[in-house]
Amino acid sequence: EAQVTQNPRYLITVTGKKLTVTCSQNMNHEYMSWYRQDPGLGLRQIYYSMNVEVTDKGDVPEGYKVSRKEKRNFPLILESPSPNQTSLYFCASSYGQDRSYEQYFGPGTRLTVT
């Protein structure tokens, strides 16, 4: 089954404790992206990747890192989480590098930073 998986689905952590949210897709998609969703603000793009070893900042990249060493994986790293990073995070992927196709979203990771 074609899908985007994220782990963990729920995470409660403390300020400053490094964490990684994994994202994997089995559709051989070139484009992958991370979003955060906050009430009243909609979805905002954090980082995206057009292909392996190619990443770029979205609208809200501060406090986040990503890497794209393999085509299927696109982990999101929070080196020193802060309470303002409490949010619902989504990973997405799509075919091609020119954003001409629909995105497939993962189920989301609900992160709470205390």
Partner 1 sequence: SQQGEEDPQALSIQEGENATMNCSYKTSINNLQWYRQNSGRGLVHLILIRSNEREKHSGRLRVTLDTSKKSSSLLITASRAADTASYFCATVPQNRDDKIIFGKGTRLHILP
- Chain residues that interact with partner 1, rule: CB under 8 A: 4, 33, 35, 40-45, 48, 58-59, 88, 90, 92, 98-108, 110
Nearest approach, Cβ of 105 to partner 1 (angstroms)?
4
Beta strand segments in 16-100, E? 19-25, 31-38, 42-51, 54-57, 65-66, 76-78, 87-94
Nearest approach, Cβ of 59 to partner 1 (angstroms)?
6
**8 cis-preceded (ω within 30 degrees of 0):** yes
Nearest approach, Cβ of 16 to partner 1 (angstroms)?
27
